[in-house]
Amino acid sequence: MTMWLIRAGKAGEREKLALDNKAAVIGWEELQDLTPCKTRDALAALLKATYPDQKPKTLMNWESQIWPIRETIKVGDLVVLPLKSRADIVFGKITGGYQYRTDLPGGPFHSRPMEWLKEFPRSHFDKDLLFSFGAFMTVCRIERNNAEQRINAMLEGKKWVPMITTQGGGKSQGAPMPGIDSAIDQTDATALPDIEEQSQDLIRERIAQRFKGHALATLVAAILEAQGYRAITSPPGADGGVDIMAGSGPLGFDAPRLIAQVKSQDSQVDVKVVRELTGVMGKFHADHALLVAWGGFNKAARAEVAADYFKLRLWDAGNLVKALQDYYERLPEGIRAEIPLKRVWTLVPDEDAT
């Protein structure tokens, strides 16, 4: 069994399609059905004929990513899908061979049937795993630092403990060996990293360190102030279901008026919390509500707000980081001192997959 990174579009545009249809799907829509391609040489020839204006290096890069979907990936292999739409990572298993799907909207797509297993917030993973999952590729193999064993343990609800060789040559379980995080594997270590994704992971880690518990509500209130609201944060303790009250105008009396609840735990929030927040909107005469959950939201919670787009918004850790970046220059000096950021321009690699 092997673990593979298979993304769903540069901006996550195929995430819902993949999850709803239990399929790993990749782009290259101009490329015809790969079923007749029995060898990599046949795929290389088809790529050259389909994309005659592309550089040879680009075509080789694409071939190395497309061939696993056609042939290398096996039934039972693990798949990791880092989501762009929220700060979560989804895992699944391959259940069948290559399929050329003409029945999916926006297709045709090159795909493999999947069973999606579990979803975890990005905050649940160590830095080295996030680094591997951040490879700037659509398809690549993930092997470094016992990644597969560690993820399998997570999927089983266990904590992974590495095997250590004893002086007598036997194996025993214990703490990670020194230097394990520096071990480099050619497969995923040589893939170009997604700098933006890695930077956001670092920002999330900093927020988790400096704004624990009720302090996270202080950060959210500061962002709302930067957006133009006048915000009041409730003190720690019983808050009647509301952590922040915010309004427009010089004193915060004017519409739109907003209430916010902030959950700092790593676990996902369920639909009960969503309903409780919408239930107290009338009590506080609020026009809108914002629910911030550092650990994200389960499927039922996200479905609950689908019809309330203009009344209720959900922020997970990724949304919070995006809002912080958008309004960073307007945040108080004390907040910026806790989360020191610098805007950097970098060249985006143009030889990755589509």
Task: Check if the beta carbon of residue 58 is closer than 8 Å to that of residue 28.
Answer: no
Domain boundary among the residues 193, 227, 259 is at 193
Q: How far apart are CA 74 and CA 112, in angstroms?
A: 10
Task: Check if the beta carbon of residue 108 is closer than 8 Å to that of residue 168.
Answer: no
Structure tokens at 269: 């929030």
181 with 227, same domain: the answer is no
Helix (H) or strand (E) holding 149: helix 147-155
DSSP assignment letter at 268: P
End-to-end, the C-alpha distance of the chain in Å comes to 26
| Per-residue three-class SS string for 167-226 | CCCCEEECCCCCCHHHCCCHHHHCCCECHHHHHHHHHHHHHHHHCCCCHHHHHHHHHHHH
Domain boundary among the residues 162, 193, 224 is at 193
Tell me whether residue 48 is in a domain: yes
- Those residues whose C-beta lies under 8 Å from the C-beta of residue 209, and which sit 6 or more positions away, are none
Residue 353 has pLDDT above 60, yes or no: no
Tell me whether residue 108 is in a domain: yes
Q: What is the pLDDT of residues 8-26, one digit of tens each?
A: 988 889 999 999 999 999 9
64 with 213, same domain: the answer is no
- Those residues whose C-beta lies under 8 Å from the C-beta of residue 271, and which sit 6 or more positions away, are 298, 300, 301, 303, 304
120 with 183, same domain: the answer is yes
Domain boundary among the residues 141, 162, 193 is at 193
Tell me whether residue 347 is in a domain: no
Tell me whether residue 334 is in a domain: yes
Task: Give the count of domains, the chain.
Answer: 2
CATH at residue 276: 3.40.1350.10
Tell me whether residue 348 is in a domain: no
Name the average pLDDT for the chain. 87
291 with 171, same domain: the answer is no
Long-range contacts of 155-162 (CB under 8 A, 24+ apart): 155/91, 155/117, 155/118
Strand partners, 256: none
Q: What is the pLDDT of residues 249-291, one digit of tens each?
A: 998 999 999 999 999 998 899 999 999 999 999 999 999 999 9
253 with 279, same domain: the answer is yes
49 with 162, same domain: the answer is yes
Q: Per-residue confidence at 136, pLDDT binned at 50, 70, 90?
A: confident
247 with 174, same domain: the answer is no
Q: What is the pLDDT of residues 199-248, one digit of tens each?
A: 899 999 999 999 999 999 999 999 999 999 999 999 877 666 899 999 99
Q: Per-residue confidence at 350, pLDDT binned at 50, 70, 90?
A: low
Q: What is the pLDDT of residues 56-94, one digit of tens each?
A: 999 999 999 999 999 999 999 999 999 998 899 999 999
Strand partners, 114: 94
113 with 37, same domain: the answer is yes
Tell me whether residue 350 is in a domain: no
181 with 255, same domain: the answer is no
35 with 87, same domain: the answer is yes
Tell me whether residue 354 is in a domain: no
175 with 224, same domain: the answer is no
156 with 212, same domain: the answer is no
- Structural domain boundaries, residue 89: 3-193
φ, ψ of residue 198 to 5 degrees: the values are -65, -40
Q: How far apart are CA 81 and CA 10, in angstroms?
A: 12
Tell me whether residue 313 is in a domain: yes
